[in-house]
Amino acid sequence: MRLTILCFTALAVAFAQAPATAPPAEPIPARDQNRSMIVSKYGIVAAPQFLASQAGARILEAGGNAIDAAIAANAMTGLTQPYVNGIGGDLFAIYYEAKTGKVYALNASGWTPKALTVEYLKSKNIDKINPIGVHAITVPGAVAGWDALRKRFGTMPFSKLLGPAIFYAENGFAMPEWGARSWISQALLKQPGYANTYMPDGVRPRLGDTFKNPALGESLRQIAAKGRDAYYKSNMTEGLVKFLQEQGGTHTLADFAEYEPEWVEAISTTYRGWKVYELPPNGQGVAALSMLNIMENFPISDYGHNSAAALHVMIEAKKLAYADMAKFVGDPRFTAIPVEAMLSKELAAKRGQQISMSKASCKVLPSEISQNLNARGRETIYLSTVDKDGNIVSLIQSNYAGYGTGMVAPGAGFSFHNRGAGFDLTEGKPNTLAGHKRPLHTIIPAFMQKDDISIGFGIMGGWNQSQAHAQFVANVVDFGMNVQRALETPRFTKATFEGCDVSMEGGIPESVRSELQRRGHVITTLQGYSSAMGNGEAVMHDKKRMVNFAGADPRTDSAAMPQNPPIP
């Protein structure tokens, strides 16, 4: 006790003798985000499921680059999040090569069977594609996408990249929180192969339960051994095609064998000094860029973050950009698409003049939107990787709607997507169904750059994606947010194309929502972090300091994980 008193006395004397001119301690700033960014001199993987992030980080530690890590992480998400992606779906990616500064874009979206046409469906008295029927299944492009990325820029064989996913498929993984919530779709329980694959023994996996998928492990082993041909030109292909034909599909072995992904030129625009990249049609990325062009005509930063004025402009810009996208976008191999005109600053200025700051528009032109365009296909994953050299991968992969069709071929271990449900069956439109045609796609990866800063980012969620991309860019550019805060701040989404309906997270102040309602917006408030807003990840490279940063969305089981340095 005496020692304690003496210590306190000594401290008191010391403070009393401190110079009067000593500066006050600098206050710690208030925290304005829920998670911290990951910051590292080494690579980082940001994926929507922590085992996927870990798998990618381990590949970086083994000497792989950003491409290698992205493939490993994506293979793991197909196992741990089959309700949103897998090797039965499609893939798009942007790759930024740090040493050259070049941006590469890959479209690995699959095509329809050659025999599947509007005329064929009419002969079967089908006037609408069943979203969980076999005609919604286009040839999946994910595995071909992995192969194209690995061959051009990767450094490791499939046997190494798919190893983590194979291990967990065969040995099992513990069901995480978000996965346990999303695992089973009651609407798909009667789909062939679905219950046997995802609800073994008739029991739905719960939080903490161990889930195994040895059939998927075997499919991945075949790909690891034989490459892409295992999926498109082998005994596995024969089994997949036989199954699809048994369900009434027109798929043939040639439809799989002849499919190839396509390296394309990324499209871009500038937004207040930043250059923002998206993939060209048949994706919806042009809508994100068009929306930014329209927003650039308004002083968004002066309005204030998530203010009524800023949100009003963004929502109205969304309607205008999506109306143009819906009218003009399809597969460019079948239809000429006026991308340059759609992205012109002159058009954006004219579209911006159509926005009234006092009243929401419930109908914008052009508005020739098919019923299929309002389908809610939001089952997608997005991930991004950056390696120690600053190479960045922005990758998105999807089943379209939950588990896609839910159809699982015997012994395959994965469900087929339903991307073909997005086709229009009206003749003469850009997105009209035809043989070997790719549908209008919702999934889009993105990339943005200014001076020494490069950011790979994306936010999944069906037609939510372009509007979410624009909000992310505004958060970074107009409001100076870091990539973590830009992801987790409250968002809005408008799932429909026409009307004044819009959904918002409850984190947007009630006073702001009331003012927007006064302007004519019909708002649905969603509490907490809502899955309706999609979820995303982002990585950032600072070339000047050679430091990487990453953020992960709290709306799923996401994590950003850094690469560990070599340990002697």
Paired residues of 539 in beta bridges: 456, 550
3-state secondary structure of 459: strand
Average pLDDT over residues 303-319: 96
- pLDDT tens, position by position, 344-367: 999 999 999 999 999 999 988 753
pLDDT of residue 290: 95
- Non-local (6+) Cβ contacts of 307 within 8 A are 512
CA-based angle 419:473:302, to the nearest 5? 140
- Helix%, strand%, coil% for the chain, nearest 5: 40, 20, 45
pLDDT of residue 520: 96
Query: Structure tokens of 425?
Result: 């069956």
Q: What is the chain's length?
A: 568
pLDDT of residue 51: 96
* Pick from 78-92, 196-210, 363-377, 385-399: least confident: 363-377
The CATH number that domain 38-266+369-562 falls under is 3.60.20.40
Nearest C-alpha neighbor of 66 from the set 316, 374, 395, 324: 395
Above 90 in pLDDT, residue 519? Answer: yes
**Residue 98 binned pLDDT confidence (cut-offs 50, 70, 90):** very high
Above 60 in pLDDT, residue 375? Answer: no
Nearest C-alpha neighbor of 324 from the set 297, 371, 285: 285
pLDDT of residue 528: 85
pLDDT of residue 24: 56
Paired residues of 455 in beta bridges: 448, 540
pLDDT of residue 368: 34
| Domain range summary for the chain, segments of one domain joined by + | 38-266+369-562
pLDDT of residue 568: 72
C-beta of residue 258 within 8 angstroms of C-beta of residue 234: no
- pLDDT tens, position by position, 10-42: 434 333 344 445 455 666 666 778 889 999 999
CA-based angle 391:227:460, to the nearest 5? 50
Which amino acid would we find at residue 349? Answer: A
- pLDDT tens, position by position, 241-255: 999 999 999 999 999
The whole-angstrom separation of Cα 324 and Cα 342 is 8
Above 90 in pLDDT, residue 277? Answer: yes
Q: Is 420 exposed, middle or buried (0-12, 13-18, 19+ CB in 10 A)?
A: buried
Query: Structure tokens of 492?
Result: 């809005």
- pLDDT tens, position by position, 479-508: 999 999 999 999 999 988 889 999 999 999
The whole-angstrom separation of Cα 396 and Cα 567 is 32
Cis previous bond, 281, omega within 30: no
Nearest C-alpha neighbor of 246 from the set 69, 377, 416, 470: 416
Q: Is 127 exposed, middle or buried (0-12, 13-18, 19+ CB in 10 A)?
A: exposed
pLDDT of residue 482: 96
The whole-angstrom separation of Cα 277 and Cα 94 is 9
The whole-angstrom separation of Cα 554 and Cα 546 is 27
Average pLDDT over residues 269-289: 94
Paired residues of 458 in beta bridges: 537
pLDDT of residue 10: 40
The whole-angstrom separation of Cα 377 and Cα 84 is 10
* Pick from 15-29, 174-188, 221-235, 282-296: least confident: 15-29
With tokens 């590292």, the residue in question is: 40
Query: Structure tokens of 540?
Result: 């950032």
pLDDT of residue 12: 40
The whole-angstrom separation of Cα 541 and Cα 101 is 12
The whole-angstrom separation of Cα 438 and Cα 359 is 38
Q: DSSP per residue over 55-103, as a string?
A: HHHHHHHTT--HHHHHHHHHHHHHHH-TTT--TTSEEEEEEEETTTTEE
Q: DSSP per residue over 458-475, as a string?
A: EE-STTHHHHHHHHHHHH
pLDDT of residue 490: 95
pLDDT of residue 23: 53
The whole-angstrom separation of Cα 530 and Cα 523 is 15
Chain centroid offset of residue 338 CA: 25
C-beta of residue 405 within 8 angstroms of C-beta of residue 416: yes
C-beta of residue 45 within 8 angstroms of C-beta of residue 56: yes
Above 70 in pLDDT, residue 422? Answer: yes
- pLDDT tens, position by position, 117-147: 999 999 999 999 999 999 999 999 999 999 9
Q: DSSP per residue over 100-135, as a string?
A: TTEEEEEEE-----TT--HHHHHHTT--S--TTSGG
* Pick from 4-18, 164-178, 509-523: least confident: 4-18
The whole-angstrom separation of Cα 553 and Cα 410 is 35
- pLDDT tens, position by position, 379-395: 578 999 999 999 999 99
Considering all CA atoms of the chain, what is the largest pairwise distance in Å, rounded to the nearest integer? Answer: 98
pTM for the full predicted model:
0.90
Taking CA atoms, 67 is separated from 138, 147, 207, 443, 445, in Å, by 25, 11, 32, 19, 14
Query: Structure tokens of 93?
Result: 């990616």
Over pLDDT 90: what percentage of the chain? 74
Average pLDDT, the chain: 90
pLDDT of residue 168: 98
pLDDT of residue 496: 86
Above 80 in pLDDT, residue 190? Answer: yes
C-beta of residue 73 within 8 angstroms of C-beta of residue 385: yes
Q: Which residues are catalytic?
A: 380
pLDDT of residue 130: 94
pLDDT of residue 457: 96
Which amino acid would we find at residue 445? Answer: P
Chain centroid offset of residue 517 CA: 30
Sign of CA dihedral 175, 205, 217, 130: negative
